[in-house]
C-alpha cells in the first residue's frame, strides 16, 4: 500500500491518444511510464496510428481494450466518445501530427479521438511530432496558437535529428519528459498563488511619426516564459512591446511601444508581484527630440541625438520591497563575465544569458540555448525549442525563489 501511495499518478485517469506518425513507437514507452507511476491508462488510436504500431501493444501494456472506431457496434450504447470523454482526468495526444493539430484547431470530429477531444471537459495536452518544415509552417504555428488560446497544453517539440534525415524542431519529446509534464499538470503548480510580472519583446523609439529605432527581438522567448509560468500555476502579468504573437492564456496583458511606455506600465503594476522577469529587449537610448512631422529626405547626412532610457530592471531591483528579480543578457562575447557583472550591478537574483552572434539561437528563431547564473551557482540549458528552454528556466527560477523565501 505504501508503494502505491508514493506513486505520483495514483488513481489518475489518463487517456492517451496516438496518431499516425513515426514517433508512435515512443507512445508505448510513455504509456509504460504512466502506468508505472500508478495511472489508469486507456488508449485511443487513429487508423493511421495502427500503420505504425499495433493496438495489441497498448492492450498488453494497459490491460485494457484499445479504442479506435467512432462507430463501434460492440461498445456500450455505441457511445465510446462520450464515456471516455467523461472518464478522463487528462487527455494527452502523443504523437500529435500536423493533421491532428489542424483538425483539433478547426473542431473536426471525423474520428473517435477528435470526437472525444471535442466532447471532454478534462484537460488536454498535445505533443507535436512532424517534419521540421511542417512544424515551422505558418499554418501549423497558427493552429498551435489557436489551441493554446483555448487552454490546450503544447508539450514540445524538441530539436534534433529526424527520421526523414533533416534536423530541426519537430521531434516528439522523450517519454520521460512527457511524464514530467503529466506529473506537473496533475498536481498543483509549484508557483500556485504567486504573482509574476514578465516583460517581453522589443521597444520602438520614435524618430518622427513614421520612423523608429528598434531591435531584432521577436518576443518569442518572453512569451514562452510567460506560458511556462502559467503552466506552473502562477498569476502572470505580461508587459509586452510590439510583437506578432498570440498571447499566452490566461494572462493579464499590458501593451506598450517605447521604453518609457514599458517603464510606466511596469512601475504602475509592480506592487504585489512576487517575481519579476525582464526578458524584453528594452532600448538603451531614445531620440531626444521627436519630430512632429515626417522628416523629408534632404541632406546626405542626418544627426540624431540620443539620450539614455530609464533602466526598468534596475529600477525594479532597487525597490524597497523588491520582488525576486530575473534579468536577461544578450551578448556576442564574454558571456559569463558580462552576465555576472550585470547580475551584481543591477542587484539581480538570477540572470539568463545567451549568445546572439549566431543563427541557431537567440533573436528571430524558435530555438535557444542559455546560461543561467545566480550568486552561488549556474546551469547550462542546451539548444532546444524556446518553449522547452522556458520550462527549464522557470523550474530554476522556482527553485531559487522558494529557497530564498525559506
Question: Active-site residues: which are they?
Answer: 164
Question: Can you tell me whether residue 201 is helix, strand or coil?
Answer: coil
**CB 168, CB 162: distance < 8 Å:** yes
H-only helix segments in 51-174: 55-62, 80-87, 98-106, 112-119, 132-136, 138-149
Task: Specify which residues 306 forms β-bridges with.
Answer: 287
Using CA atoms, how far apart are residues 299 and 309, in angstroms rounded to an integer? Answer: 28
| Alpha carbon of residue 297 to chain centroid | 44
Grid coordinates standing for 15?
487517456
**CB 209, CB 287: distance < 8 Å:** no
**CB 70, CB 44: distance < 8 Å:** no
Grid coordinates standing for 338?
558580462
Name the pairing type of β-strands 13-18 and 350-355. Answer: unpaired
Using CA atoms, how far apart are residues 344 and 44, in angstroms rounded to an integer? Answer: 53
| Alpha carbon of residue 406 to chain centroid | 28
Grid coordinates standing for 216?
531584432
End-to-end CA distance of the chain: 33
Using CA atoms, how far apart are residues 302 and 188, in angstroms rounded to an integer? Answer: 57
**CB 140, CB 134: distance < 8 Å:** yes
Rg (CA), the chain: 24
* C-alpha neighbours within 13 Å on the C-beta side of residue 203: 28
Is the preceding peptide bond at 38 cis, omega within 30 degrees of 0?
no
Amino acid at each position: 500500500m505504501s508503494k502505491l501511495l508514493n506513486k505520483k499518478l495514483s488513481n489518475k485517469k489518463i487517456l492517451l491518444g496516438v496518431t499516425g506518425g513515426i514517433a508512435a513507437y515512443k507512445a508505448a514507452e510513455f504509456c509504460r511510464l504512466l502506468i508505472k507511476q500508478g495511472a489508469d491508462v486507456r488508449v485511443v488510436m487513429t487508423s493511421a496510428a495502427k500503420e505504425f504500431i499495433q493496438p495489441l501493444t497498448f492492450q498488453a501494456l494497459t490491460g485494457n481494450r484499445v479504442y479506435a472506431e467512432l462507430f463501434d457496434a460492440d461498445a456500450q450504447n455505441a457511445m465510446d466518445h462520450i464515456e471516455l470523454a467523461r472518464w478522463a482526468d487528462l487527455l494527452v495526444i502523443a504523437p500529435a501530427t500536423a493533421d491532428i493539430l489542424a483538425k483539433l484547431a478547426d473542431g473536426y470530429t471525423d474520428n473517435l479521438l477528435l470526437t472525444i477531444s471535442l466532447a471532454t471537459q478534462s484537460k488536454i495536452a498535445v505533443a507535436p511530432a512532424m517534419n521540421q518544415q511542417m512544424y515551422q509552417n505558418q499554418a501549423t504555428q497558427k493552429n498551435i496558437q489557436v489551441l493554446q488560446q483555448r487552454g490546450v497544453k503544447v508539450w514540445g517539440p524538441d530539436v534534433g535529428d529526424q527520421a526523414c534525415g533533416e534536423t530541426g524542431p519537430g521531434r516528439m519529446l522523450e517519454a520521460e519528459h512527457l511524464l514530467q509534464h503529466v506529473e506537473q499538470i496533475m498536481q498543483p503548480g509549484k508557483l500556485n498563488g504567486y504573482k509574476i510580472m514578465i516583460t517581453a519583446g522589443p521597444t520602438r523609439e520614435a524618430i518622427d511619426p513614421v520612423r523608429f529605432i528598434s531591435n531584432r527581438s521577436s518576443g518569442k522567448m518572453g512569451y514562452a516564459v510567460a506560458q511556462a509560468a502559467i503552466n506552473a500555476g502562477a498569476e502572470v502579468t505580461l508587459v509586452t512591446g510590439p510583437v506578432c504573437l498570440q498571447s499566452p492564456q490566461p494572462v493579464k496583458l499590458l501593451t506598450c511601444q517605447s521604453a518609457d511606455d514599458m517603464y510606466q506600465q511596469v512601475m504602475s503594476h509592480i506592487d504585489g508581484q512576487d517575481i519579476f522577469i525582464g526578458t524584453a529587449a528594452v532600448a538603451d537610448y531614445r531620440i531626444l527630440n521627436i519630430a512632429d512631422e515626417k522628416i523629408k529626405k534632404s541632406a546626405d547626412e542626418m544627426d540624431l541625438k540620443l539620450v539614455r532610457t530609464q533602466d526598468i530592471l534596475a529600477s525594479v531591483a532597487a525597490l524597497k520591497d523588491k520582488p525576486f528579480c530575473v534579468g536577461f543578457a544578450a551578448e556576442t562575447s564574454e558571456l559569463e563575465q558580462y552576465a555576472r557583472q550585470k547580475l551584481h550591478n543591477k542587484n539581480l537574483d538570477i540572470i539568463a544569458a545567451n549568445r546572439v552572434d549566431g543563427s541557431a539561437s537567440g533573436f528571430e528563431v524558435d530555438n535557444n540555448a542559455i546560461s543561467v547564473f545566480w550568486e552561488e551557482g549556474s546551469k547550462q540549458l542546451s539548444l532546444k525549442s524556446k518553449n522547452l528552454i522556458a520550462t527549464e528556466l522557470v523550474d530554476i527560477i522556482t527553485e531559487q525563489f522558494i529557497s530564498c523565501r525559506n
